[in-house]
Structure 1
């Protein structure tokens, strides 16, 4: 077999490993994001949201819309923070920045256009978005890097 053929085999193997690493990272991001956010919204901060938003809260949750958000956000996290990160720290920093942008945009838009939107909710939600997205990005990068390092 020629050396060029061996190089092609190595490149194909690396491409396959990278695909598997991104797929595994995406699954990890999805599980972490959904799990942590549901615990936050449904347990840890439930009373805060009940008091702050009261009649604006939908019961039951409109799951198609919620799952649509999570699907888009998982894609954004993987594309922005995880896929090209060469370390967990870099992914966490990129994720935290993404969380700041996304959650601040959401909160400040609501504060600007929804009468009675509680200003006290803005810093809490933005801090949660930074912490959540940074943590989830770190977890996704950790999984990606472990898969890439397998021999």
Structure 2
């Protein structure tokens, strides 16, 4: 005989907790990725995006956060490039991200970017080799995988789970 079923509230209370984020991946017309430098986490470069609010979807979150962080109003359809899972570590709960294709931005669109200084203090487009020299290894692996997913049309799944031996 199977385990007795818990009341719904009790079952839900026992589920693992997780945060969800949505982000958009843009390149310029030469396929150089756009990233924003965090004004909060020193030296961290990231895609426009952020944590999901109650009642939002991951894609809705990506579009809202992009608008808030850059002024870019994305009107395209959702095209998922990556699902990015981080196990609890420095952050107290698991975090799952959905990175969507934002397309290519021309010089004019890039020149209209307006950053929220409370979150980011710079934006740049660079060739992949330049990003590789600038970013921490986790962020670089995510950027390289997302860029590859865009080029190949194949969605990627990323997983960052701490080594229990460490």
Q: TM-score, normalised by structure 1?
A: 0.28
Higher share of residues assigned helix: 1
